[in-house]
Amino acid sequence: MPDTVDFAVVGGGFTGLAAAAWLRHLEPNKSVALFESSRIGAGSSGHTGGMTLADTAAGELPGLGDVLAGLSGILRELQVQCDLQLPGALEIGREEILPNSPISWSDSGTLGVTKEVPGGTIDPGKMLSGLAQAATKSGALIFENSPVESLTVAESPVLQVAGRPVRARCILIATNAESLELSSLAGLAQPKFTLAVATEPLSSDQISSLGLAPGKPFYTSDLPYLWGRVFHGNRIIFGSGLVHLGDWRELLTLNVTEGHAAELLSDLERRVRNLHPALQNVRLSHRWGGPILIADKWQPAFRRHAEHRDVIILGAYSGHGVALSVYLGAWAAESMLGKKQLPQWDDVQLVD
């Protein structure tokens, strides 16, 4: 582990990996080190649904730009192959269903398509490993099992990593729902744990009778919330439910076979089986969950650390982070290099 680097990144999810890879892509002569407390993908990014959406959870934000075009360009430049497809995404709901809705499911009323929006899917495992490979191939150093314990600032910021000091000119903190004291988001954003299930492979007839043949992911615009997508080999992933936490550290020991998480998974399974006759006897092959961070006004946190100008905080995508994390991770890298300003979203007043 180096004592000093030009740029340090904390967190080995999509955000941190995209930033590390993009830093070296733009400045191959600057040293970059990424520290991950556990393993790459241990947080949200290794447990995600992989639906790529154009907007933030708060909708369009000033100066955000075209997230999906940006994501496509970054993946292309970094040569990350992750089955990115952008056929559109389906907003589904219980009211104002389109007359030609391909979906007609039963879930607290009839669920159907209300709107089609830009979007699509990626394979999250391929995007994680692709970004990690792009980062290491370009010369970024990635340290797994290297928790950052603290941040102090003397002349430049210093991280305490697994008991050793590492000095950096500029630091990105991309720890999402964890280490909220380090990211200074404690009390400003709420860590949650959300759940998902995957079906066994279904027949093509089953997939088309569900109205999912064109491969577009879906999510509800009203409650109760439900999202999902078709994944490899005609499995369908469905997700819903939030476990509320008093402290982010509860994420480290949360077990989906016990307590409230297990109850929410049972509810989700019951809902899935009742959606449509094609799902009545379906076997669910996987059940899991992962962290998300919900910030004030549902806007991503993308700002300088209140006490340290050379430290940037990025995360809290409120469950909309797959495309945003890569797009804003690259943006953070450009800001660290002095090539782009950070957005001013903290002052934005949202109109309902």
Ligand X SMILES: Cc1cc2nc3c(=O)[nH]c(=O)nc-3n(C[C@H](O)[C@H](O)[C@H](O)COP(=O)(O)OP(=O)(O)OC[C@H]3O[C@@H](n4cnc5c(N)ncnc54)[C@H](O)[C@@H]3O)c2cc1C
Binding flag, residue 138, ligand X (CB under 6 A): no
Q: Which of 22, 23, 32, 44 binds ligand X (CB under 6 A)?
A: 44
In the complex, the smallest distance separating the C-beta of residue 277 from ligand X, rounded to whole angstroms, is: 26
Closer by beta carbon to ligand X, 64 or else 322: 322
> Do residues 342 and 50 make contact, with C-beta atoms less than 8 angstroms apart?
no
Contacts 24+ apart (CB under 8 A), 151-160: 151/182, 151/305, 151/308, 151/311, 153/307, 153/308, 153/310, 153/311, 156/310, 157/8, 157/308, 157/310, 157/311, 159/8, 159/10, 159/35
Binding flag, residue 53, ligand X (CB under 6 A): yes
In the complex, the smallest distance separating the C-beta of residue 4 from ligand X, rounded to whole angstroms, is: 18
In the complex, the smallest distance separating the C-beta of residue 312 from ligand X, rounded to whole angstroms, is: 13
Binding flag, residue 196, ligand X (CB under 6 A): yes
Closer by beta carbon to ligand X, 49 or else 130: 49
Closer by beta carbon to ligand X, 1 or else 95: 1
Binding flag, residue 176, ligand X (CB under 6 A): yes
Closer by beta carbon to ligand X, 175 or else 220: 175
3-state secondary structure of 258: coil
Beta bridge partners of 33: 8, 141
3-state secondary structure of 59: strand
The two structure tokens encoding residue 94: 């219980």
From residue 297 to residue 336, what is the string marking binding to ligand X with x (rule CB under 6 A)? ------------------x-x-xxxx--x-----------
Chain position carrying tokens 């650390």:
305
3-state secondary structure of 19: helix
Point out the residue whose Cβ comes nearest to ligand X.
Answer: 321
Binding flag, residue 15, ligand X (CB under 6 A): yes
In the complex, the smallest distance separating the C-beta of residue 227 from ligand X, rounded to whole angstroms, is: 6
Closer by beta carbon to ligand X, 211 or else 289: 289
Q: Which of 56, 72, 114, 175 binds ligand X (CB under 6 A)?
A: 175
Closer by beta carbon to ligand X, 130 or else 289: 289
- Going by C-alpha positions, the residue among 335, 293, 5 that lies closest to residue 143 is 5
Q: What is the DSSP letter of 45?
A: G
Q: Are β-strands 284-295 and 235-244 bridged in parallel, bridged antiparallel, or unpaired?
A: unpaired
Considering only residues 65 to 124 of the shown chain, the ones binding ligand X according to CB under 6 A are none
> Do residues 21 and 184 make contact, with C-beta atoms less than 8 angstroms apart?
no
The verdict on whether omega for the bond into residue 224 sits within 30 degrees of 0, i.e. cis, is: yes
Could you list the residues that contact ligand X (CB under 6 A)? 10-16, 35-38, 42-45, 47-51, 53, 147-148, 174-176, 178-179, 182, 194, 196, 239, 289-292, 315, 317, 319-322, 325
